[in-house]
């Protein structure tokens, strides 16, 4: 298809500040940008030569933002299930990672995960994993928008030997990707229980100097908070406050264990929360008080977490789980209505990672990061409210078309940028090696 082109869906679900849902409108894409949203067919005379993409019975939505994930862990999808967080990590996931994680594992896992993401309507992800240079390179090659975490730990891994080496390699990557329109970086200390206060202090200085966001796991389980309190005499969030890390650049993942004061603190400092409902439920970590946070004014995005703990990168399933578990937690069926949930899966996630000026909603001047949900199935009839349908009835296989920065990535459910059977064969061969425990 030539660029510019006009998308003419049944519904344009803008996810702008007014939550507008437009009918009889076209979205004009020019280069990488949404250049106009116009009444249609009235405005057709202004675009006499433009290519038309007619999408009857389909809804155009902002490309979804998976605000917290570990993409390469796709190769460990379903490797160990029905086990609590700490034994799951220490007895299953960490040993497998120790045996297998290297640049090839990260490249192959990330590629599989990006293919899964795009077909499910995700056009932007916020990752945290080893070998972030590989993640950035693969994302750039494919052409998906990526916020790459400059992972930092106080213990060695195949990627780096100590905290200073993690930071040095991370800053090199930051420099290398500064001119890439699709790739941004966040500082990514794993968690307060794996990164010392000294290292967190260095990260705070870098964040201030470079204006970089900070992406960290925080208050995931009651046990983690309790153990930190016993060891350090202070709750992790209070330690983060001491270190001056609670500000608009912070994106804190999980946050299932919160006092009312901690919710107010987050609202006041303008930090964001990245909510991973399915991972938290599956690991029985607790449930984040999402409705209370949103009522207090906290910006909350949604992430799938890695496929090892979820077991997919399905933002449709995650939206549904966020709505259902959020209503249950609030004890209120009116809490977290569908419009709010869709915001969390798009513009709120973009805001949390500092990209809300360019993606996460359908507005003139923003990047053309777009997905189409095809309602022309008996499973989705009748349609009373397309937003409710996206959250409560549709699933990721209902995505028909996807564009990132104006470039089409998916057409009628088929990938334009992947050899799917090669991806499947590659993942199967990893599965055989990982199952056998050999390197």
- Answer yes or no whether residue 84 interacts with a second copy by CB under 8 A: yes
CB 76 within 8 A of CB 434: yes
CB 197 within 8 A of CB 216: no
User: Under rule CB under 8 A, which residues in 95-114 are in contact with a second copy?
Assistant: 112
**Residue range at the interface with a second copy (CB under 8 A); choices 21-29, 36-44, 261-269, 391-399:** 391-399
Considering the complex, what minimum distance in angstroms separates the CB of residue 72 from a second copy? 13
250-254 vs 407-411, strand pairing mode:
unpaired
Q: Where are the alpha helices (DSSP H) in 211-335?
A: 222-232, 236-242, 260-269, 277-282, 290-296, 315-330
Rg value, the chain, Cα = 21
- Answer yes or no whether residue 383 interacts with a second copy by CB under 8 A: yes
The structure tokens listed for 67 are: 């605000």
Q: Choose among 299, 189, 289: nearest CA to 248.
A: 299
Angstrom distance (rounded) from CA 290 to CA 299: 10
CB 367 within 8 A of CB 405: yes
Site string for a second copy, 395-414 (x = CB under 8 A): xxx-----------------
Q: How many residues does the chain have?
A: 439
Q: CB-side exposure of 244: number of CA atoms within 13 Å?
A: 9
Angstrom CA distances, 280 to 349, 356, 389, stand at 18, 26, 25
Backbone phi and psi for residue 321, each to the nearest 5 degrees, phi listed first: -65, -35
Q: Choose among 312, 73, 384, 20: nearest CA to 321.
A: 312
- Answer yes or no whether residue 23 interacts with a second copy by CB under 8 A: no
User: Under rule CB under 8 A, which residues in 280-319 are in contact with a second copy?
Assistant: 280-284, 286-287, 307, 310-312, 314, 317
For residue 137, the Cα-to-chain-centroid distance in whole angstroms is: 18
**Residue range at the interface with a second copy (CB under 8 A); choices 75-83, 144-152, 186-194, 354-362:** 75-83
Q: Binding a second copy by CB under 8 A: which of 81, 198, 261, 414?
A: 81
- Answer yes or no whether residue 19 interacts with a second copy by CB under 8 A: no
- What are the residues whose beta carbons fall under 8 Å from the beta carbon of 419, sequence distance 6 or more? none
- Answer yes or no whether residue 119 interacts with a second copy by CB under 8 A: yes
Tokens 């390197």 identify what position?
439
- Return the SS3 of 152: strand
Considering the complex, what minimum distance in angstroms separates the CB of residue 57 from a second copy? 9
Angstrom distance (rounded) from CA 101 to CA 93: 11
- Answer yes or no whether residue 381 interacts with a second copy by CB under 8 A: yes
For residue 28, the Cα-to-chain-centroid distance in whole angstroms is: 26
Angstrom distance (rounded) from CA 225 to CA 232: 10
User: Under rule CB under 8 A, which residues in 42-71 are in contact with a second copy?
Assistant: none
- Answer yes or no whether residue 416 interacts with a second copy by CB under 8 A: no
- Answer yes or no whether residue 77 interacts with a second copy by CB under 8 A: yes
Size of the site for a second copy (CB under 8 A): 73
Q: Binding a second copy by CB under 8 A: which of 137, 204, 249, 389?
A: 389
**Residue range at the interface with a second copy (CB under 8 A); choices 7-15, 59-67, 278-286, 293-301:** 278-286
- Answer yes or no whether residue 91 interacts with a second copy by CB under 8 A: no
**Residue range at the interface with a second copy (CB under 8 A); choices 7-15, 145-153, 294-302, 415-423:** 415-423
- Answer yes or no whether residue 366 interacts with a second copy by CB under 8 A: no
- Answer yes or no whether residue 82 interacts with a second copy by CB under 8 A: yes
25-30 vs 5-13, strand pairing mode:
antiparallel
Backbone phi and psi for residue 361, each to the nearest 5 degrees, phi listed first: -155, 165
**Residue range at the interface with a second copy (CB under 8 A); choices 34-42, 44-52, 243-251, 386-394:** 386-394
Site string for a second copy, 323-342 (x = CB under 8 A): xxx-xx-xxxxxxxxx----
- Answer yes or no whether residue 424 interacts with a second copy by CB under 8 A: yes
For residue 122, the Cα-to-chain-centroid distance in whole angstroms is: 8
Q: Tell me whether residue 265 or residue 310 sits nearer to a second copy (CB atom).
A: 310
Considering the complex, what minimum distance in angstroms separates the CB of residue 392 from a second copy? 4
Considering the complex, what minimum distance in angstroms separates the CB of residue 329 from a second copy? 9
Q: Binding a second copy by CB under 8 A: which of 137, 254, 320, 343?
A: 320
User: Under rule CB under 8 A, which residues in 241-270 are in contact with a second copy?
Assistant: none
- Answer yes or no whether residue 235 interacts with a second copy by CB under 8 A: no
- Answer yes or no whether residue 376 interacts with a second copy by CB under 8 A: yes
- Answer yes or no whether residue 435 interacts with a second copy by CB under 8 A: yes
CB 172 within 8 A of CB 148: no
- Answer yes or no whether residue 217 interacts with a second copy by CB under 8 A: no
Q: Tell me whether residue 288 or residue 358 sits nearer to a second copy (CB atom).
A: 288
- Answer yes or no whether residue 135 interacts with a second copy by CB under 8 A: no
Considering the complex, what minimum distance in angstroms separates the CB of residue 326 from a second copy? 9
């Amino acid at each position: 298809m030539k660029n510019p082109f006009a998308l003419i869906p049944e519904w344009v679900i803008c996810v702008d500040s007014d939550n507008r849902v437009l009918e009889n409108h076209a979205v004009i894409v020019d280069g990488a940008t949404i250049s106009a949203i116009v009444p249609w067919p009235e405005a057709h005379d202004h675009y006499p030569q433009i290519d038309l993409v007619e999408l009857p019975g389909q809804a155009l939505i902002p490309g979804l933002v998976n605000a917290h994930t570990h993409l390469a862990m796709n190769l460990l999808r379903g490797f160990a299930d029905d086990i609590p967080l700490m034994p799951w990590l220490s007895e299953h996931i960490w040993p497998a990672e120790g045996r297998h994680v290297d640049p090839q594992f990260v490249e192959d896992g990330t590629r599989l995960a990006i293919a899964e993401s795009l077909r499910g309507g995700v056009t932007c992800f916020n990752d945290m994993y080893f070998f972030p240079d590989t993640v950035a390179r693969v994302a750039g090659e494919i052409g998906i928008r990526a916020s790459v975490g400059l992972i930092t730990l106080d213990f060695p891994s195949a990627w780096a030997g100590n905290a200073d080496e993690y930071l040095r390699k991370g800053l090199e990557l930051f420099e290398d990707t500064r001119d890439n329109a699709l790739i941004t970086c966040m500082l990514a200390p794993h968690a307060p229980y794996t990164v010392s206060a000294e290292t967190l202090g260095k990260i705070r200085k870098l964040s201030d100097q470079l204006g970089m966001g900070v992406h960290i796991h925080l208050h995931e389980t009651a046990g983690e908070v309790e153990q930190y309190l016993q060891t350090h005499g202070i709750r992790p969030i209070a330690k983060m406050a001491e270190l001056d890390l609670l500000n608009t650049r912070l994106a804190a993942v999980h946050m299932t264990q919160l006092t009312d004061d901690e919710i107010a603190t987050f609202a006041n400092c303008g930090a964001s929360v990245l909510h991973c409902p399915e991972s938290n439920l599956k690991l029985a970590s607790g449930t984040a008080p999402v409705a209370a946070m949103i009522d207090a004014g906290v910006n909350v995005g949604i992430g799938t977490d890695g496929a090892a703990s979820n077991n997919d990168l399905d933002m449709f399933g995650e939206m549904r789980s966020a709505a259902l578990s959020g209503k249950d937690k609030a004890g209120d069926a009116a809490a977290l209505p569908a419009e709010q949930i869709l915001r969390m899966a798009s513009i709120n996630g973009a805001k949390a990672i500092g990209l809300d000026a360019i993606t996460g909603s359908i507005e003139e001047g923003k990047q053309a990061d777009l997905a189409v949900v095809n309602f022309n199935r008996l499973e989705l009839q009748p349609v009373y409210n397309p937003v409710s349908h996206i959250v409560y009835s549709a699933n990721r296989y209902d995505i028909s078309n996807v564009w990132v920065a104006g470039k089409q990535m998916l057409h009628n459910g088929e990938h334009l940028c992947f050899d799917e059977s090669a991806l499947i064969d590659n993942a199967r061969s990893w599965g055989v090696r990982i199952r056998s425990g050999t390197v």
